[in-house]
Structure 1
């Protein structure tokens, strides 16, 4: 990179750092910004951000995803930054972080969601087969509930569910159905 030539990653990190300072100045969130490192992920496909803790160094690393930055407008991406700042605060204050009551309380104060929305469409959708239940769950990879749905139950009513391969519309309810769909789709899988 030559002098004066900035990349989208430079822009993303600069805006995130500025927003972090604004959040801290406007709230009572006690975060040591000097103990936060920032990074950009070019590989993440569904997670817009993450916060990692190095307890030995006492440093939280907030990793923001370039693809999400490119797809969201700034107000939506700023929510991701605030969400990850709450994780950094928890790590700095308590040495651990999750999405429990303490996180939810702080996130609500900063108008950050408990979970950030995925910025990509799911590859699979799990749908309850019970007539009076509208439970659905998105999946981005072929996890065990996608590969063997007969071994799992609906997250609301406990009924059975079907898995849909979003791109093709093919559905299955068993491991053999998964294998059949995968084989039939070949390159389209």
Structure 2
């Protein structure tokens, strides 16, 4: 194989650029007047939670759309194209207003483009947070050992305010304190 052979990253960026051009030009079902000349592309091989992100460099007035390689590998093209459109809405908002979020303006434009407000999961979480109150079914997925995962006793349930436990999904081990987290991690060793 030659060193000039296209890579998976090249494929992702090429397909995303083609789709972005179709959207910007109104070729097909969608139209959003995003300035493609002020748009850059990148691919993350580390991302596990977000299928895409859009970063704004106000000094250069350039938006960079970062797409997750794992999401591209797991989604079918229509689902991944919807992620591209979602990020294009962010780019358009940055270009037009200097800011972007998931508010009313974003929601309206995303709906016009059949772009999801949130993307379907493409990776299994490493951790699960679960409320311990019997009348509450609050749960949260985590891909990294965040502070609430490491010290669940310092935080409260997002729905009812009760205590919760953290679970290492692969092993099923649970804990409710920082020392419990450390014990589970030590017990699992290389399987952590």
Tell me the TM-score normalized by structure 2. 0.90
Instruction: Give 3-state SS (helix, strand or coil) of 2:91's partner.
Output: helix
Structure 1 counterpart of 2:112:
109
Question: Residues 139 and 99 of structure 1: is their aligned pair in 2 closer, same or farther, counting only changes over 3 Å?
Answer: same
Name the structure 1 match of 2:21. 21
Shift of the alpha carbon at 1:22?
Answer: 2.1
| 1:151 is aligned to 2:140 | no
Distance in 2, Cα, partners of 1:127 & 1:36: 40
Q: Which string of whole-angstrom CA distances, capped at 9 and with x for unpartnered residues, describes residues 93-141 of structure 1? A: 1111122222222212212122223321101001111222111100011
In structure 2, C-alpha distance between the alignment counterparts of 1:132 and 1:104, rounded to whole Å: 33
Question: C-alpha offsets along residues 7-30 of structure 1, whole Å, 9 cap, x if unaligned?
Answer: 222221121112112223144522
1:43, 1:7 → 2: CA distance?
16
Partner residue of 1:50 out of 39, 50, 53 = 53
1:141 match? 144
User: What SS is found at the alignment partner of 1:38?
Assistant: strand
Shifted more, 69-78 versus 101-110: the winner is 101-110
Structure 2: stretches of 5+ with no match in the other structure: none
Deviates more, 1:45-54 or 1:73-82: 45-54
Q: Is the 8 A contact 2:129 2:164 kept in 1?
A: yes
Q: Does 1:124 align with 2:131?
A: no
Supply the RMSD in Å over aligned alpha carbons: 1.8
Distance 1:184 1:9 in 2: 38
TM-score, length-normalised on structure 1?
0.92
Describe the superposition over 1:46-93 as per-residue Cα deviations: whole angstroms up to 9, x where unpaired.
322111111111111111122211111111111110111011011101
**Alpha carbons 2:31, 2:113 under 8 Å: kept:** no
Q: Which runs of 5+ in 1 are unaligned?
A: none
| Cα distance in structure 2, aligned partners of 1:169 and 1:94 | 46
Q: Contact between 1:83 and 1:116, CA under 8 Å: does it hold in 2? A: no
Cα distance in 1 for partners of 2:21, 2:100 equals 21
**Counterparts of 1:90 and 1:131 in 2: how far apart (Å)?**
43
